[in-house]
Chain A
């Protein structure tokens, strides 16, 4: 690949968690990056048209974003992520991602840039990025420098988000924790709608992925020793940590998320003494149903705060 080639990053799935790292890494190596625009109904629509019916909503959205990048960049970055350790894996869809996109868009000849890692490879994030950088033609030293700088940017971005959320906790308003996969709760079309509705009703919205990551992970091992998924660990850990500090929890899951189907069931059993709303998002076009549910949820919180249903125990 030449110097001035543009790398396209679909604004979906893990881009919401590691996008800053990706963007800075490529830019440090001299490749301009372009993100697809924010999610909307049209993008979901074009993604849905290409996906197998049963696949999850975020994946359909992701396909839409990939299509959105067509013609705007020279190569699309789609990593294959299997996770780094046995108890912190990714959903198997991430293992299939690059091959899936290649098979689905076989006739469109999309150029895919990929890097692969898996829990049984016993590799580290640094090694993976070195490999990626070297596959792009840079030297080991350049790749390492680019990775380190990008990693630092990613950390700063995270820290800022975590700090911002910490400050929110001190306000006296009604606080609601939005718990779910980053690419669901931060997506403009999926979680964005929910945040909008919650804020309209005067609640402050906190996010499960902006809770301090280290302590969330640690807490998740108390929640479950064998749970194999990294993101679900972060969600479960963060939810368990925050359950005493917020007024209500909204568990958001996209239909039909495999890990969530089992883990959220367990989470609901373990969270006691605080209102929990379990929302499953599908590709509905209207938000009236969700709005009603959130409205009554906020009412319950307010009612409880005011002394509520008698004895709290």
Chain B
């Protein structure tokens, strides 16, 4: 009998909602290494992250640190942290230091060091992760992984738009869950495509019961907290359960695969002359768009201490005044309980519904 030894490196990345599946696809199919796919985050993840982070580091720092520590416990050998245009750029360096201090032994790759670098450097990094790398396979894997993210964004968007109006309770959720499961185990582009088409078809066939006064809510805000369901305590899901149709511009497709943020600047010049921060242009543009399209309300989501999003608030206040659209501001830190959030969302939803019935 032949003994097969898996000598692929075990790579882990901090959780970011279902994008984990796309990252897994890129790592396993493109890089041909092993990806440590973590189970959904729990209270313990939060506690781990909070315990070892500086006090007023932003919530995404704590969430990703918690994820990385859990990945190490699950056997990861290589940790990857990304960089960005705000504090995110410094996450990697500090997390590396914290993890070393905790006594873990692992390779730590800080993508902030590679950002804006040459293609050659990236290829060298890929070779370091898998010496037997096939560059053509990697390119195909990255392309298909990104495609998967795009498919997930589209299905997710459709889910939150319609699930609030479903005729039969739970029918949308069932399709959506099945779709995510298929993405989680997809191994080639045909499987991605099949899963996507199946979900799209199923959504189109599900009966809807649109109320007399449907409430449409736009969600805007900070990149990580708004996308990661665990971080925002399933905000969109909660709104859907209340019966609202929820829109969110911010996702990987809209932010990285479509027009650049600077392309939106002329549209918001009434409120901002310059780019006010890495995600602020998207936030302001999306909010203004929702206001102009006659949405009933906007929810602004951010983690505590997120400077760029904090700076969007005065602008949103002005938009709210100009277009008479209510805005609910939510700031997340590392809360355990979500009863407070429930109460606020219910009150907000009731107010919007009432406003619609009485005033229009």
Residues of A at the B interface (CB closer than 8 Å) are 52, 54-55, 80, 86, 91-93, 95-96, 98-100, 102-104, 106, 114, 116, 118, 224-228, 255-256, 258-259, 261-266, 269
Contact = CB atoms under 8 A, between A and B. Distances in A.
A80 B272 CA distance: 12
Contacts of B272: 99, 103
A263 B275 contact: no
B55 interface: yes
B112 interface: yes
Interface in B299-341: 304-305, 307-308, 310-311, 313-315, 317-318, 331
Contacts of A93: 277, 307, 311
Contacts of B271: 99, 103
A99 B274 contact: yes
Interface stretch (B6-14, B89-97, B184-192, B224-232): B89-97
A118 B281 CA distance: 15
A91 B274 contact: no
Nearest to B116: A86
A92 B305 CA distance: 12
Contacts of B97: 266, 269
B116 A262 contact: no
A258 B222 CA distance: 15
A247 to B, nearest CB: 26
B54 interface: yes
Interface string B273-288: 1111110100000000
Contacts of B80: none
B305 A258 contact: yes
Given A259-B90, A262-B87, 12 more contacts: A92-B311, A95-B277, A96-B277, A96-B311, A98-B274, A99-B272, A103-B271, A104-B314, A256-B304, A261-B58, A261-B87, A266-B97
A79 to B, nearest CB: 11
Given A93-B307, A261-B305, A52 B314 contact: yes
B110 A226 contact: yes
Given A262-B87, A265-B94, A95 B276 contact: yes
Contacts of A255: 56
B90 A263 contact: yes
A104 B314 CA distance: 6
B273 A98 contact: yes
Most B Cβ at <10 Å: residue of A96, A259, A266: A96
A91 B271 CA distance: 21
A249 B355 CA distance: 57
B61 interface: yes
B331 A227 contact: no
A54 B94 contact: no
B280 A96 contact: yes
Interface string B236-254: 0000000000000000000
Interface string B152-165: 00000000000000
Contact of B307 (A116, A226, A258): A258
B276 A54 contact: no
B167 interface: no
B83 interface: yes
Contacts of A80: 274
Interface of B: 54-58, 61, 83, 85-87, 89-94, 97, 101, 110, 112-113, 116, 271-278, 280, 304-305, 307-308, 310-311, 313-315, 317-318, 331
Nearest to A99: B272
A258 B315 contact: no
Closest 5 CB pairs of A and B: A96-B276, A96-B311, A265-B54, A92-B277, A103-B314
Identify which of A98, A224, A265 gathers the most chain B CB atoms within 10 Å of its CB. Answer: A265
A305 B193 CA distance: 71
A261 B303 CA distance: 14
B307 A262 contact: no
B94 A266 contact: yes
Contacts of B61: 262
B318 A96 contact: no
A253 to B, nearest CB: 9
A266 B276 contact: no
Contact of B276 (A100, A114, A224, A225): A100
Contact of B93 (A96, A104, A227, A259): A227
B281 to A, nearest CB: 10
A54 B310 contact: yes
11 contacts: A93-B307, A96-B280, A99-B273, A224-B93, A227-B90, A227-B93, A256-B56, A258-B307, A262-B87, A266-B94, A269-B97
A223 to B, nearest CB: 10
Given A54-B305, A258-B307, A262-B61, A226 B274 contact: no
Contacts of A95: 274-277
Contacts of A228: 89-90, 112
A224 B318 CA distance: 40
Contacts of A104: 314
B117 to A, nearest CB: 10
Contacts of A96: 274, 276-277, 280, 308, 311
Contacts of B110: 226
Contacts of A116: 274
B55 A261 contact: yes
A54 B330 CA distance: 12
B54 to A, nearest CB: 4
Nearest to A101: B314
B351 to A, nearest CB: 22
A290 B174 CA distance: 57
Nearest to B304: A54
